[in-house]
Amino acid sequence: MSIREDWITTEKWLLRQANSMGELLVQIRPHISPLLIGGEGWERLLERAGESPATMAAFPFGFELPLRDPRPTADFGVSLVGESRTAAFYQERNRSGQAGPSAARLAGLLDETDREDSFLRGVVGRKMLLEYDVDPAPDGGRPDPGVFLYPVEDAIAGDGRRVRELGVVHDALVRACGWSPDAAERQQLEDVYRRLNPYTLVRAVGAFPSRSRAIRIAVTGFTKARDVAAFLDRAGWPGDSTVVATTASYFEERAAFAYMGVHLDVDSGGVGPSLGLSLFPNDNEWLKDIRHWTGIIDVIAEQGYALPEKLTELANWSTGSTTLFGRSGPFMLVRGIHHIKLVIGGEGVEQAKGYVFFLMMCARPNGGIVAKETT
């Protein structure tokens, strides 16, 4: 059975299991700590997840957990993959005129990456991430989801030669957000790219249509605190790069990570003041074993970057695989940590965030589980 046949089987199973991602989360509630997501935060999460088809769970989905915030709340992230049942849901609603503006723009992005001759498809493949803010917008409405595109392999390597590739991703995100073209913004993004080291990669590029306009670029491959600081100085980050270097050095001294990532917000005026510093303990990003994360979590605890009770629950998240029995039969539920990010501003570390994931895999018709476990 191919990987594509595997996830098609899981999608069919999910159609019988739940009507929405919100219903699905209710079913796996015992596996989500109420200290991390509970009370009003849980109710808001269910409202937002209720907007997404349950078939989205055939691909990784998860939560952004603010570890320094005493509220048990989280934002919600799901994968949207071309040629899936969920993609067809968006595209069919758009063709019938039933999609809202945000969903219609996402359908247009899916249509573009469906084409085999699409240059955008050659750069980012057919997958995107949607990130839903659970807190209401200032006007009381629900914010449109953030959209993130992921360059495949080394499609935007830090060699300064992939400016065209970065530009086509920028323009696709501008269309997906319903924004007007901005040549100055694109130029600023390209300038940041040209200042990368050859061993780094642009891992993700995204934007939030309901927030202040900016393009978020994530660059990975840094292994030394001094290299992060040097890049920030070259890129024109307005903050104090020595603060970032000092923060990263705590983890470097303990050999707690395999590599780091830097997340910057870029607009027509340049690089924004806040940045994210992500920590990855292994080349594999879908880790379900807590042993990979103990070094990073220990340093965060020692430096007081997160609430102790939330860190404990974050560690408990990575418990590996569990077989559960749903309405449609047995399925495997995998929990793990994708990465941990420190948000750094003028006063140092302002927030620590844990990005955790679920994988759901149903049984094959001829027995077995449809996908390999992640270690």
pLDDT of residue 214: 98
pLDDT of residue 374: 34
Scan for tokens 């200032």, then name that residue. 138
pLDDT of residue 369: 46
First and final C-alpha spacing in the chain: 21
pLDDT of residue 341: 98
Task: Give per-residue burial for 284-310: e unless 16+ CB within 10 Å, then b.
Answer: ebebbebebbebbbebbeeeebbbeeb
pLDDT of residue 182: 98
Question: What residue type is 187 in one-letter code?
Answer: Q
Q: In 3-state terms, what secondary structure has residue 302? A: helix
Cβ–Cβ under 8 Å, residues 89 and 52:
no
Instruction: Please provide residue 310's backbone torsions phi and psi, each rounded to the nearest 5 degrees.
Output: -75, -35
pLDDT of residue 370: 44
Scan for tokens 């306009």, then name that residue. 213
pLDDT of residue 365: 53
Q: In 3-state terms, what secondary structure has residue 93? A: helix
Scan for tokens 């939560």, then name that residue. 63
pLDDT of residue 216: 98
User: If we measure between CA atoms, which residue out of 295, 282, 272, 259 comes closest to residue 344?
Assistant: 272
Q: What angle do CA 201, 206, 210 make, to 5 degrees?
A: 165
pLDDT of residue 371: 42
Residues of the chain with pLDDT under 70: 1, 285-288, 319, 363-375
Bridge partners for 271 per DSSP: 266
Cβ–Cβ under 8 Å, residues 314 and 308:
no
